[in-house]
Amino acid sequence: MQIQWYPGHMHKAGKEIKEILPKTDIVIEVLDARIPFSSANPFLAQLRGDKPCLKILNKSDLADPELTAAWQSYLEREHGVRTLALTSREPDKMRKIAELCRKMLPEQVQNDRIVHALIMGIPNVGKSTLINILAGRTVAKTGNEPAVTKTQQRIAIGNNVVLLDTPGMLWPNIENKNSGYRLAATGAIKDTALHHEAIAAFVAGYLGQHYPACLHERFQLQEIPESADEVLEAIGRKRGCLRSGGRVELDKAAKILLNELRSGSLGRISLETPTMMEKELAEVAVIREQKAEKNRLRKQKRGSSEG
């Protein structure tokens, strides 16, 4: 599965970020705490160079608290960034960002000098909601649909810190197919970009493996089937999504499961762990290597037949 989802303004954002970085003191990346790896921009580490970076694990009210803590220590240890787990339900904690930004700068940066923090994040991670809370007024449009923010803005957030806001930025295609499912499951990719039955089956299988208690309690599944499709079917059956003849209406079951996941009705669920990501990244690297080798051989063959 390759997701091609790259609206024009996101391409523009990549260029804008390169232009704006030299004028920036700090980079703030807003992530979805349920998928801190999949919601991160893979180009950011490369783009930001040695600029200090704060990663905000937002929507932490929806994420598994133990895994959020695990992600924070992993990111701080392995990626050398500062992290903060936040939710729009704790606006006071959000307002500490300006103070933290100042603390992250070298001591010689004077207190009265304006600090510029570039804030970025892929669509739907809650960046606009966060900015509005920090600004104390509505400066950014919010909504539960990806790609609402379109133009760049400067927002003063106290402590002489100014946020530079950019449009959401996703990548042209996602090599790791599970990241695609996770982004779709949390709502960062529009439902139309991927078939929602496939997304729901991915979630159902994941819950069966990692949150069986949720399936027992929320859907009264006594036995959890082995395959993801069967878990989704069992959920549909329990929720009465049946066609005449008793066949399960998978489309309806998928909508129920995804709505309940996104609204937090299933409880606090994270869809990836640092260990899982390390493993998937290694798999992607192998696939990339195999593709490169195939291309090399194809070119070699073409070269020898032409010669």
Ligand X SMILES: Nc1nc2c(ncn2[C@@H]2O[C@H](COP(=O)(O)OP(=O)(O)OP(=O)(O)O)[C@@H](O)[C@H]2O)c(=O)[nH]1
Interface mask (CB under 6 A) for ligand X, residues 31-70, using x and -?
A: ---------------------------xx-xx--------
Q: How many residues bind ligand X (CB under 6 A)?
A: 22
- Quick check: 70 and 274 in contact, CB under 8 A? yes
The Cα-based distances of 52 to 49, 55, 95, 208 in angstroms read 9, 10, 19, 39
- What is the torsional sign of CA 164, 166, 168, 174? negative
Nearer to ligand X among residue 89 and residue 294 (C-beta): 89
Q: Looking at 126, 180, 205, 236, which residue binds ligand X (CB under 6 A)?
A: 126
Q: Looking at 41, 72, 87, 270, which residue binds ligand X (CB under 6 A)?
A: 87
Q: Looking at 147, 184, 201, 231, which residue binds ligand X (CB under 6 A)?
A: 147
Q: Write phi, then psi, for 124 (nearest 5 degrees).
A: 75, 15
Decide: is 146 part of the binding site for ligand X (CB under 6 A).
yes
Nearer to ligand X among residue 146 and residue 205 (C-beta): 146
Please list, in sequence order, all residues whose beta carbon lies within 8 angstroms of the beta carbon of residue 298, skipping any fewer than 6 positions away.
none
Nearer to ligand X among residue 139 and residue 242 (C-beta): 139
Nearer to ligand X among residue 170 and residue 235 (C-beta): 170
- Give me the helices (H) in 159-239, please: 177-186, 196-210, 212-219, 228-238
Cα 36 to Cα 282: distance, rounded to the nearest angstrom: 17
Binding site for ligand X (CB under 6 A): 58-59, 61-62, 87-88, 121, 123-129, 142-144, 146-149, 168
